[in-house]
Structure formats: structure tokens, C-alpha cells
Amino acid sequence: MNFKIPNFVKTNQFGLLCLVIIFICIFSFSTDGFTSRFNIYALSRVVALDIMIGLAMMVVILTGGLNLSLGALGVSAAMFGGWCMESMGIPISISIILVLAFGSFLGWINGFVTVRTGVHSFIVTLATMSIYFGFMTLLTEAEAFRKLPEIFTDFGSLKLFNKYISPLLIISVLTCFILYYVFKYTDIGRKLIAAGANPDAAELSGISVDRMFIYCHMLSGFLAALAGIMLTARIGAAIPSMAGHLGFDWLLPAFLAPVLGGTLLSGGKVTVFGTMLGAILVTLINNGLYLIDVGEFWVRFFLGMILLGAVLLDRAREYFTVKNSIVS
């Protein structure tokens, strides 16, 4: 009876991986179109965005905060990009750099106000959400940018690997690896985690916690802007309502992915690949729900149930692992 379970099995990621595989099996057996080339390609386009949004939220959750303005920020950045490319005629590469800088700047505002007032980032980003979105709607007059350069929009509909995978997914996976490297092996990454895990201790060991928190918000803005660009490339136009009113459509995947992935809401723990798996799971379930035809109006209901189920399961897992460790 005394066999040892490998540590990896106990982790959240392993459970997620199992869930992903189980869902893939269920959907590919119970529905026709799931494994078709078209569906896998469509999935890869969606999952790319969900991963990016999840990562953008994850880096703020690291500080023990939240970023409600994620969707509004991403859309504002994307609209800014549309304006740069279409109205100003700035070359694509420079436009993208400008957009990322703009996203980081909006993130900096979030971080700066949060740190300076000492108020929970929830309320700060709630306010900035409506400010960003309001200004964006006001300045664009709710008009879309539809005449983007063709190279840019073609990139969004490019098909790689025997037409199975979208290049957008490669960007997201690459971002995951970079973030993993940053958080695991670089000085600044470790400082960010330390500041999130125990601000007082970090401050005492010479880390400027305020600056780290601002960096996290800037990184969140950067990633959200990247997600905005990717969405623009995918749709082929920059549309003010592409993330819903106030960018709310991004909010559920943004929280689902890191929370499923095992990121602690109290801060101080990031799981880059957990977030990736979480995003994959969300997209799979979303896609599967449409394929098994639950009716589009019930999809939200099930997504909410899944989020609830996931956090409860996570709680149970924590409970059992704690009990196990006490016994051994």
C-alpha cells in the first residue's frame, strides 16, 4: 500500500491536463465536427486569445489585485492601433510597437493610482474601465476601422501546419514560454513574485513593492494590448464592441483561465502553463457546448457553473493534499 505518488500528479496542472484530455475524448466521440480541420483551426484562433487574456489577468492577480479594465484596455489599444494603421498610415510594425506602448501606459495608470491611493485595484480598475471605454467610444464615435493593411489582416487568417493551426496560437504559446522564463529564472520575475507573495517581507529585503506592482499592471496592459491586436487581426477590423460593453466579454475567460490554472487570488503565485491549460479547457468547453447544441443562450450558464465547479474542486484538492501531508 505504500507506493509513492509522483509530485506532478498532485499538482493542479495534472488535474487540468486530465480534464482537457477527457473533454477532448467526450467531444470527439459525441459530436461530428469536433476533430474536423475547420474546427481545430477555429479553436486554435480562439484559444490563442483566451490564453493571452488569461495571462494578462494572471500577472495582476500575482499582486493580489484584479484588473477589471482588461477588456476596455485591450479594445482601446486595438482601436488605437486601427487608428494608427488606417488613419495615420503608420507602418504595421511601428503601429504594433505604439499599441503595445499605449497598452503599457494604460496599465501604468492603473498601477500608479492603485499604489498611490492604497485602494484595492478592483475599485481603481472599475473606474478606469469606464474611463478608457468611455474615451474610446467618444474618440472613435463608435465607428470601426475596417480598412486595415492587408498584410496585417492576412496574418490573422493564415493557416499553418497543414492548415490546422493559426499563427496567433504560436504567439500565445511563445508568450507563455517567455513569461515562464521571466518568472522562473530572471531577477525581476522573482522580485515580482516576492512582492506579491509577501509585500512586507519583500519591502524589508530591499525590493520596491510599489514599483513591482506598477510593473505588474504595465505587463498586464501590455498583454491586454497584444490580445487586442490579435483579436483585430483575427476579425480583420478594429471594432469598438468586439469585447462587448465595457469589455466585459473578456472578463470570464480572463478569470477562468488563471483560477482554473491554480493561480492564487491572494497573490504571490503564478502558474503560466496552468493558465494556458485553463484557457484551453475554457475554449474546449465553450466550443463543445456549441457543438452539442445546448443553445447559445445557455452557454453562459454552463460557463458560470464550470467556474463554480472548478473553484470548488480546487478547494477540495487543497483540502485533501493538506490532509495527506499531515498524515505523512
Partner 1 sequence: MSNLLKKDWFGLGLVIILGSILISFFKPAFISPFNLYVLMLSVSLMLVVAMSQMIIIAIGQMNLSVGAIGGLVAISFTGLMEVYSMSILPAMLIGLLIGLACGFINGYITVKTGISAFIITLATLYIFKGMNLGITEAQPFYEIPDAVKFFGNAKILGPIPYLVIIPIIITILMWILMNRTSLGRYMLAYGNNVQSSELIGISSTKIVIYAHVISGLLAAIGGMLVVCRLQLGTPNIGDSWLLPSFAAPVIGGAILAGGKVDVIATAFGVILVSIISQALVIFKIDPFFVQIFLGFMILLAVFINRYREYREERRTKVFSYD
Judge contact between 311 and 255, C-beta under 8 A.
no
Tell me which of 179, 193, 259, 276 binds partner 1, using CB under 8 A: 259
Residues forming beta bridges with residue 238, ordered by sequence position: 145
Q: How far is it, in rounded angstroms, from Cα 250 to Cα 57?
A: 10
| Contact flag: residue 321 with partner 1 (CB under 8 A) | no
Tell me which of 176, 251, 260, 272 binds partner 1, using CB under 8 A: 251
Q: Which is nearer to partner 1, 24 or 127 (CB)?
A: 127
Tell me which of 11, 31, 130, 153 binds partner 1, using CB under 8 A: 130
Q: At what angle do helices 251-261 and 37-61 cross, to 10 degrees?
A: 80
Tell me which of 87, 117, 241, 324 binds partner 1, using CB under 8 A: 117
Minimum CB–partner distance for residue 300 and partner 1 (Å): 4
| Contact flag: residue 308 with partner 1 (CB under 8 A) | yes
| Contact flag: residue 297 with partner 1 (CB under 8 A) | yes
Minimum CB–partner distance for residue 18 and partner 1 (Å): 22
Return phi, psi of residue 165, to 5°: -120, 140
**Cα-Cα end-to-end distance for the chain:** 13
| Share of the chain residues as helix, strand and coil, in percent rounded to the nearest 5 | 75, 0, 20
Q: How far is it, in rounded angstroms, from Cα 132 to Cα 126?
A: 10
| Contact flag: residue 16 with partner 1 (CB under 8 A) | no
The separation between CA 288 and the C-alpha centre of its own chain, rounded to angstroms, equals 20
Minimum CB–partner distance for residue 124 and partner 1 (Å): 7
Q: Which is nearer to partner 1, 85 or 289 (CB)?
A: 289
Q: Which is nearer to partner 1, 102 or 255 (CB)?
A: 255
Q: Which is nearer to partner 1, 53 or 148 (CB)?
A: 53
| Contact flag: residue 184 with partner 1 (CB under 8 A) | no
| Contact flag: residue 126 with partner 1 (CB under 8 A) | yes
Q: How far is it, in rounded angstroms, from Cα 47 to Cα 53?
A: 10
Tell me which of 17, 42, 101, 131 binds partner 1, using CB under 8 A: 131
Amino acid sitting at position 245: H
| Contact flag: residue 252 with partner 1 (CB under 8 A) | yes
Judge contact between 226 and 52, C-beta under 8 A.
yes
Q: How far is it, in rounded angstroms, from Cα 66 to Cα 236?
A: 30
| Contact flag: residue 304 with partner 1 (CB under 8 A) | yes
Q: Which is nearer to partner 1, 117 or 324 (CB)?
A: 117
Q: Which is nearer to partner 1, 158 or 305 (CB)?
A: 305
Residues 6+ apart with CB under 8 A from 78: 99, 225, 228, 229, 231, 232, 238, 242
In terms of Cα–Cα distance, which of 112, 135, 137 is closest to 125? 112
Residues making contact with partner 1 (CB under 8 A): 66, 113, 117-120, 122-124, 126-131, 133-135, 137-138, 245-246, 251-252, 255, 259, 265, 295, 297-305, 307-308, 311-312, 315
